[in-house]
Chains A and B, each alone.
Chain A
Amino acid sequence: MPKYKIADVVFEAKLIYGYTERLCKNYEYDGEQPCDFSVVITNDDVAKEKALAPEFVEPYLESLALFRKLCDYCLEHANGIIFHSSAIMVDGKAYLFTAPSGTGKSTHTRLWRELLGDRAIMVNDDKPIIRYIDGKFYVYGTPWNGKHHLDTNCRAEIKAICKIEQAKENSISKASTAEMLLTIFNQTIRPEDPAQMDRLLNLTDKLLTQVELYKLGCNISKEAAELSYTTMSKEKNDEN
């Protein structure tokens, strides 16, 4: 069984289709660390995903089934959640852009890469995993990297989370925890299990109080990226 290490979680997976194996290739692991868990994807798992998203083909659905099991494990044992966003790292710090699909979060991180060149590294363009470790939040790349296939097998400490809206004029301001709360809930997997829900609520509470929160109204321009990067990369004691 192939072994993988994703979000610093080591697991082995028995898969049905070759697609998921190819998808996870960059996350294969042959180190000494023992497996944190072992997963077998069954036809039943794939059928459950099919019921949720009938438009997709089975090999892709299998990868989603694996992702779901990994996220379940992360929430239960590793203080981790999926946070649907486009995550980019600059000078070692991560910035997460979130918005409903089609709003332009991938476009905005592309503008950052054009602005910042090699300083900017895509952590993941669609489904990164966030973990809370020793009092800090980190974002991890995962193979579930969105339609532009952008991800890096790495982790970075999260500096800020930014909610994006399309706008004619560019503007950015701090977002309140109330404004960001529903966004986070809408961009993660909400568990049915009460104990898992409890863990999700605890993590969300810490995330909202520990990382910087912004809301950005933006168009597609270099100025939009300059505004968000300059504002969000400021250190707290640089303010005023």
Chain B
Amino acid sequence: MMKIKEGFIIREVAGNFIVVAVGSAVKQFNGVITLNETGSFLWKKLQDGCEKEDLIDALLNEYEVGKDVAEADVTAFIEKLNGAGLLK
């Protein structure tokens, strides 16, 4: 199962979704991540922990996208998060 590490918070600031680190997570990640609407949707699922398939299904249920697009979006999103070391 994939899950967002402790210490990262998502917030909407003036209509933009951003993720920042707090507490000891700041030592690992000191930047700011901006997310689009889909990204914030996926992020919130990942906060509770889920499988890749769950994310694809969630996208298909929530947005009018095809399975290929949903899969590609989810894969890209997970890579982005892994690149920044945000998943456990």
**Complex interface: chain B residues within 8 A of A205 (CB):** 12-14
Chain A: interface residue total (CB-CB under 8 A): 16
**Complex interface: chain A residues within 8 A of B20 (CB):** 185, 190, 197, 201
**Complex interface: chain B residues within 8 A of A177 (CB):** 13-16
**Complex interface: chain B residues within 8 A of A191 (CB):** 22
B11 CB, min distance to chain A CBs, angstroms: 5
Task: Give chain B interface residues in 1-58, CB to chain A under 8 Å.
Answer: 9, 11-16, 18, 20, 22-24, 26, 30, 32, 34
Q: Which residue of A lies closest to B15 (CB)?
A: A177
Whether, in the assembled complex, A178 has its beta carbon less than 8 Å from a beta carbon of chain B, the answer is yes
Task: Give chain A interface residues in 162-200, CB to chain B under 8 Å.
Answer: 177-178, 181-182, 185, 190-194, 197
Whether, in the assembled complex, A26 has its beta carbon less than 8 Å from a beta carbon of chain B, the answer is no
| Contact B22 A192, beta carbon cutoff 8 Å | yes
In the bound complex, CA of A63 to CA of B31 (Å): 26
| Contact B22 A193, beta carbon cutoff 8 Å | yes
**Complex interface: chain A residues within 8 A of B23 (CB):** 192-194
Inter-chain contact total with CB atoms closer than 8 Å: 45
Main secondary structure of the interface of B (DSSP, over half): strand
B26 CB, min distance to chain A CBs, angstroms: 5
Chain B: interface residue total (CB-CB under 8 A): 16
In the bound complex, CA of A201 to CA of B34 (Å): 13
| Contact B18 A181, beta carbon cutoff 8 Å | yes
Q: Which residue of B lies closest to A177 (CB)?
A: B14
In the bound complex, CA of A201 to CA of B19 (Å): 11
> A201 contacts which of B11, B15, B26 (Cβ < 8 Å)?
B11
Q: List 18 A-B contacts (CB under 8 A).
A: A177-B16, A178-B34, A181-B32, A182-B32, A182-B34, A185-B20, A190-B20, A190-B30, A191-B22, A193-B22, A194-B9, A194-B22, A197-B20, A201-B11, A201-B13, A201-B18, A205-B14, A208-B13
Q: A185-B20, A192-B26, A204-B13 are in contact. List 19 more A-B contacts (CB 8 A).
A: A177-B15, A177-B16, A178-B15, A181-B16, A181-B18, A185-B32, A190-B20, A190-B26, A191-B22, A192-B22, A194-B9, A194-B22, A194-B23, A197-B20, A201-B11, A201-B20, A205-B12, A208-B14, A209-B14
